[in-house]
Structure 1
Amino acid sequence: MVKLPEYEVLNFCFDNDNGCSLTVLANDERFHVTVDPKQLQDRSKEGKVIQRRYRRLLKRAKAADQDGEEQEETTQSGNEDDSDQDSEKQDSAVDVSSPETEQKPEDEDGSSKHTNALHRRILTPLSEHILSKPSGSKPTVQDWYYSPIHYYNLSTSSGKLQVQENQSPPKSLTERMNEILIPTISLPKKTLNLSIPQFSASDLTVLSCASDPAPYHPILVSHNDNNETYFLKPVDPTQPGPTIREIDIMNTIAKKDLHSRDDFRCPQLKGLVYFSSSSSDSSTIEHKHIAAILLSPIADPTPLTRLLDPSTPEHKRKQWAKDAERMVEVLHENGIVWGDAKGDNFMVDKDDKVWIIDFGGSYTEGWVDEKIKETEEGDWQGTGKVLTALEDPVGGTMSEEEEKKLDEEKEEDEIEEDEELEEEEQTPMKSSPRKRSRDSAAEGEDADEAAPPAKQQKRSRQSAGTKDTRDVKYCFCESTSSGRMLACDGKDCKREWFHFECLDIEEAPEEKEWFCEECR
């Protein structure tokens, strides 16, 4: 199995004709791969297998994406005139933090698991075209976003999956990718009249990036002249309204000198970032189109929602509740409506001080009712739920009805996945004495001659015997055991078992021993 370099997904989409495209950043280079099913019609036996695998992975990724959209929390823009229907489902931006808290989640949900398996399948033949290691240089914000893209097409030939570089991609494609990957919005005259300092993206060096919220983007930058560090918050071209609202409110906060108060903490608006269209662009010219806003960074921030846990000392939770409530009061006393009151929009810094962030004016379902969005009543509804959760981290974070519904949905998903995988296994596999097991459930199944070998098991919660393995994480997808899995023979392997679909295999290897990438 080919070992892929680390990569970050910049964009992924699929159409109604079983085609898709994937854009990634790998070792400081950008790659765009287009998958056209017509290019996967190799009639060889191996080619047909490749086509079936691709369609299966795409089907699961589509289904997972649809499920994710249905279960995703709904956020709405406060300025519907400046956002379309799709953008209303996105948060305006909640990532006012430094890189320490912007790590990838340790666990993948079902949607991520299936989608990532498809991504790895598409990228496998591309691995030989990717640099073996990053360049190590730190680009400017301008260079980071305007880095050239290498375009490839996926195809099959003689039973092998391969990529062919498209050195002359159609102009419509390159323009579309620029629209997707390069953030920019136009500011109204009212906002420009605020006379907020503007910075060229060419004068800012990227120090670190983050993948939350998607897509992967620069998050911490420094100015080339004075080395001052800023938090970079890219705009969302699909919904300019929240950015304009945030600029206006943060400017009001600064004018009212709320930052000097001991009972109020929020990042300071430091400036606006624009892309230079030419080397002759002057910093003295006011630029209407901006790419991001610059904020003062919060030192080692942690979203408050991550600290809503009984293990968090009670005295800290009480202080956070008191401070959070007071900061909302300060806003209202100064005629400012927060607009997106929820737990994720409170941050706790390295000194255990709580901060309020995100003035984009959206509302989040479950925190604030739509009918009272962007009102003081809405602010108190969302804040009240935060205060309740701080007082009771167990009972205050989710209602019994919500917990029951979530458990039922999870159980239904697991059963559906198990049934789907069982349908694929049309014939039992032969027993093999050399295959070994890693858990009691597999050992119990070895007694049955018709069962798969211990090295290769169909693992599910139904067949887990008396041992509950749902909370144990396996595979490089860091998920629980399910479906057909292959055991690594590495003595100290940390992952132990690997899903067939994550390995992109349909049958267990014939070799006596098999080792994962980390144990080879």
Structure 2
Amino acid sequence: MESMPDYEVVRFYCGVTTHSELTILCYGKRFHIEISAEDLQGIIQLGRGYLEKLRRLEIEDGMMSIQYNDWQKTLIQEIDHPEIQKEDDTDDDDDEMVGNAMEEICFWIAWKCNPSMKALGSDTDLQPITVKQWLYPETLVLTPKVDERGILSVGSAAASDGLISDLISSVRLQQDLLQKLQVPLLQPSKIFLFRDKDEDLTGPTQRPEKVFIDPGEILFFKPCHRTHEIPREIETMTRLQQSGLDKTLRVPIIHGLVQYQQETDRICGLLLTYIKHGETLAFVDINETPLERRNKWISQIRQMIGKLHSNGIF
């Protein structure tokens, strides 16, 4: 039985139409899949399966309302009211949920394109050595569509330079902020990925965390995913360092900026102090945690917040 390999979701996007885009790493390459309900309506079960996943995402994630056409509205009505669903309209192999709404739709799309990705993929796993190699793997665009014969076919093409650039989040920084930082601006090709000896090297390479410029100094690589927050984050970490709080609190400082292409005022990532970490309190079972330990955590959090507020950091 065919199965999905390990894969890493790089990005998922959908707007106010049924068009969505999934970018994943698997089979040694990066695949950018563009899909829409309009391209699937030649097979009713397929179109319905996709709309069902999209509808769940729309409801559970509270996203902007999607604009459906008349054909899609009919299916959505059946999805919202299962009692009116026709017996032969059920999805044939995708009823089982695999997680939250986002995970479910990503898996559904990847599963439908799995045979094509396997055929187009590499025999070896993607194993980048530098941040540049991780940012710029070989990328193919896949477009699943039901053809005139009523068969799902997946078109493929090399990704354009414009798309590859769009897949890398970046932010432009003001010159005064760059001058204030006084940290090096580094090309991704000069930043190396650090691998632990016991790290599993099979499957896709997940977003690198541990990196180094010079052997012996491990840094944390943080891509600029939420671009609108990066300048404020940089300002805050600068103030933490200037106030000396980085000496008493477990907070990182900035060691470098990762340059975006050849632009000297645009970055695609930060190089921060690497702080060994585990699960956050969000994963703790409160009911199974002794009261004494919980009170200790509360005290530590209050002390930390007090130090931040006393230095004007909110």
The bucket for the TM-score relative to the shorter chain is 0.7 to 0.9
Question: What SS does the corresponding residue of 1:22 show, helix, strand or coil?
Answer: strand
> Match for 2:256 among 268, 271, 282?
271
| Alignment match, 1:201 | 188
For structure 2, the 5+ residue unaligned runs are: 65-97, 196-204
Seen in structure 2, the aligned counterparts of structure 1 residues 246 and 230 have a Cα distance that, compared at 3 Å, is: same
| Alignment match, 2:211 | 222
> Match for 2:310 among 330, 333, 336?
333
Q: Number of aligned pairs?
A: 270
For structure 1, the 5+ residue unaligned runs are: 42-47, 73-106, 209-215, 282-286, 338-520
What aligned pairs does 1:275-294 form with structure 2 within 5 A after superposition?
275-277=260-262, 287-294=264-271
Q: CA deviation at 1:255?
A: 1.5
Q: Deviations over 1:44-77 (max 9, x none)?
A: xxxx5xx2232112211221111122299xxxxx
CA distance in 2 between counterparts of 1:138 and 1:10 reads 15
Q: Are positions 1:28 and 2:28 aligned together?
A: yes
> Match for 1:312 among 280, 286, 289?
289
| Alignment match, 2:234 | 247
| Alignment match, 1:147 | 137
| 2:28–2:121 CA contact under 8 A, matched in 1 | no
Query: What letter corresponds to residue 274 of structure 1 in structure 2?
Result: Q
| Alignment match, 1:500 | none
Q: CA deviation at 1:39?
A: 5.9
Which of these two proteins has the greater Rg computed from alpha carbons? 1
Seen in structure 2, the aligned counterparts of structure 1 residues 28 and 132 have a Cα distance that, compared at 3 Å, is: closer
| 1:5–1:127 CA contact under 8 A, matched in 2 | no
CA distance in 2 between counterparts of 1:5 and 1:334 reads 49
Q: CA deviation at 1:217?
A: 6.1
Q: CA deviation at 1:110?
A: 4.6
| Alignment match, 2:118 | 127
| Alignment match, 2:221 | 232
CA distance in 1 between counterparts of 2:233 and 2:36 reads 41
CA distance in 2 between counterparts of 1:116 and 1:302 reads 25
CA distance in 1 between counterparts of 2:289 and 2:182 reads 40
Identity of aligned residues (%): 21
TM norm structure 1? 0.47
| 1:139–1:205 CA contact under 8 A, matched in 2 | yes
Q: Are positions 1:69 and 2:41 aligned together?
A: no
CA distance in 1 between counterparts of 2:33 and 2:63 reads 29
| Alignment match, 1:381 | none
Question: What SS does the corresponding residue of 2:181 show, helix, strand or coil?
Answer: coil
| 2:37–2:50 CA contact under 8 A, matched in 1 | no
Q: CA deviation at 1:16?
A: 6.4
CA distance in 2 between counterparts of 1:25 and 1:244 reads 29
Q: CA deviation at 1:33?
A: 2.8
Query: What letter corresponds to residue 163 of structure 1 in structure 2?
Result: V
Q: Are positions 1:190 and 2:180 aligned together?
A: no
Q: Are positions 1:118 and 2:109 aligned together?
A: yes
> Match for 2:51 among 59, 64, 68?
59
Seen in structure 2, the aligned counterparts of structure 1 residues 325 and 222 have a Cα distance that, compared at 3 Å, is: same
Could you say what the CA RMSD is over the residues aligned between the two structures, in angstroms? 3.0
